[in-house]
Amino acid sequence: MGKGWQGKAIHGFRETEIAQWSEASREILQRVRDTAFLPGMSQLSLVHVLDLDKSGYIKPHVDSVKFCGCTIAGLSLLSSCVMRLVSEQNPEDWMDLLLPRRSLYILRGTARYEFTHEILKDEESFFDGQKIPRERRISVICRNLPAPT
């Protein structure tokens, strides 16, 4: 999140955090937030924007529990991709999710804390035996804050 805490996990990318959005974008982000978060959950006001180039990918990781809370909501733009979830406890327990371009995914609970997530590189980007070509992909990610300890 601009702090480099996931930097080693991500290859072939640029990223930024955006606070000021156009009116049209604000409306879309509000729909994402209303879908992903319950009223009263304190959310990070900065939105994370990750721009993966065609050869970029994200290695398996769990988002920092220190910097973000129980819910991660991401819009995939420009390119479809495959997100793989792998159980940390039992790596044989895994699943692939097809993230079509312009779709929203929400990771929370078990998927957020007990499974790593990754975005497959173009060469490995298959879903149900079908190639899912990876082009440049921009993701727009909203997170909430960890519960105060």
- Binding-site ranges for ligand OGA (CB under 6 A): 6, 50, 58, 63, 74, 117, 119, 139, 141
Shortest Å, Cβ 18 to ligand OGA: 14
74's contact among Mn ion, ligand OGA, none, with CB below 5 to 8 A by partner kind, is ligand OGA
- By beta-carbon proximity to ligand OGA, the closer residue of 41 and 97 is 97
To which residue do tokens 């601009």 refer? 2
Angstrom distance (rounded) from CA 84 to CA 116:
8
139's contact among Mn ion, ligand OGA, none, with CB below 5 to 8 A by partner kind, is ligand OGA
Q: Bin 38: left if φ > 0, else alpha if -120 < ψ < 50, else beta.
A: beta
Q: Bin 52: left if φ > 0, else alpha if -120 < ψ < 50, else beta.
A: beta
Shortest Å, Cβ 15 to ligand OGA: 7
- By beta-carbon proximity to ligand OGA, the closer residue of 17 and 41 is 17
- By beta-carbon proximity to ligand OGA, the closer residue of 41 and 138 is 138
Shortest Å, Cβ 61 to Mn ion: 6
DSSP assigned state of 91? T
- By beta-carbon proximity to ligand OGA, the closer residue of 63 and 142 is 63
Sequence-ordered list of residues with C-beta below 8 angstroms from that of 29, at least 6 positions apart, any chain: 21, 47, 140, 142
Shortest Å, Cβ 124 to ligand OGA: 16
50's contact among ligand OGA, Mn ion, none, with CB below 5 to 8 A by partner kind, is ligand OGA
Largest CA distance in the chain: 45
Angstrom distance (rounded) from CA 92 to CA 83:
16
